């Protein structure tokens, strides 16, 4: 089965890139249908490092729905300006373990006006259950896309005192001739 999203997000490509690499943003995007808690020592990282990460899925943020493996890589060799996160993990237990293959890729690239083109592709295989699983998976991906569009304007905000805010202020001052 193949599920696709192609969205224009109201944030910079740098802000979108930080967001798709953030477990905290993942939790926001899948809420309220799912929540994810880490099964790793030290809990969820701030940014997904490459490698495998075990998590527990909770349906409606309360009911155990199985264990997952997020297997993150950052493919290279992409066209100029394109950044991609790939998750080749999948469910280990629970209802989503019906998928015996999981290949989720999220890519961002800049658009004019400081906006971002976001592309998302899920290739998953559940054998004979593909026909049954496709629509709920597609509907959940639409939810994720709607949440991303809703949350993206907030991703472009860097709080005062951060390195990003200082860099933006310095760039603005240099552009104004100050």
Q: pLDDT by residue (tens digit) across 16-43? A: 999 999 999 999 999 999 999 999 999 9
pLDDT at 66: 95
In tens, the pLDDT along 109-133 reads 999 999 999 999 999 999 999 999 9
Q: Which of 164, 138, 150, 17 is nearest to 85 (CA)?
A: 17
Using CA atoms, how far apart are residues 16 and 10, in angstroms rounded to an integer?
9
Does the pLDDT at position 153 exceed 80? yes
For residue 123, what are the contacts with CB-CB under 8 A and spacing of at least 6?
Answer: 1, 2, 101, 102, 103, 104
Mean pLDDT on 76-88: 97
- What is this structure's pTM? 0.84
């Amino acid at each position: 089965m193949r599920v696709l999203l192609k969205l224009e997000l109201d944030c910079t490509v740098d802000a979108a890139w930080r967001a798709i690499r953030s477990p905290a943003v993942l939790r926001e995007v899948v809420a309220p249908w799912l929540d994810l808690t880490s099964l790793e020592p030290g809990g969820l990282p701030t940014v997904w490092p490459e490698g495998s990460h075990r998590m527990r899925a909770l349906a409606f943020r309360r009911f155990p729905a199985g264990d997952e493996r997020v297997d993150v890589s950052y493919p290279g060799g992409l066209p100029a300006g394109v950044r991609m996160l790939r998750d080749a993990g999948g469910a280990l237990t629970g209802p989503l373990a019906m998928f015996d293959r999981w290949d989720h890729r999220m890519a961002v690239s800049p658009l004019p006006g400081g906006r971002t083109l976001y592309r998302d592709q899920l290739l998953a295989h559940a054998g004979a259950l593909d026909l049954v699983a496709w629509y709920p998976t597609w509907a959940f991906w639409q939810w994720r896309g709607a949440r991303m569009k809703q949350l993206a304007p907030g991703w472009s905000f860097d709080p005062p005192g951060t390195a990003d805010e200082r860099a933006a202020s310095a760039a603005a001052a240099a552009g104004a001739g100050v």
